[in-house]
Amino acid sequence: MISHIDHVVLTVADIERSVQFYKRVLNMEEHLFANNRKAVKFGNQKINFQLLGQEPRNMASVGSGDLCLISTWPIDKILLHLCESGVEVIEGPVQKSGANGSIQSVYFLDPDSNLIEVSVYEK
């Protein structure tokens, strides 16, 4: 029935701050869509940003997201990039279980305290 995730939505306090963080730290591309809303894209997916209360049917609160993103970079390069970007790693690298097998993961928070996990599949 389901083939893949198209996009996720994060509720944030400041959309522009979030866009800049995801561009700088995760090398994602800024994307404008319907009614000048903002998102970031990577591959065939995107992360849309919304302000608290912007979408009445969504009861999420700021900072309630938890994302796992798969990287093509080795874990050491990810750690170096996060350090150079001034991002504090709060856990990792640690071994976890991904959708398709064993992964090495590092965890950090975005500006709104959404938990971001960047992972590499073990070969």
Do 102 and 95 touch, CB atoms closer than 8 A?
Answer: yes
Beta partners for 91? 107
| The two structure tokens encoding residue 100 | 């398709």
Give the Cα separation of 13 and 29 in Å (integer).
20
Annotated active-site residue in 29, 30, 55, 117: 117
117 is catalytic: yes
Give the Cα separation of 95 and 10 in Å (integer).
26
| The two structure tokens encoding residue 1 | 């029935």
Query: Which residues are known to be catalytic?
Result: 117
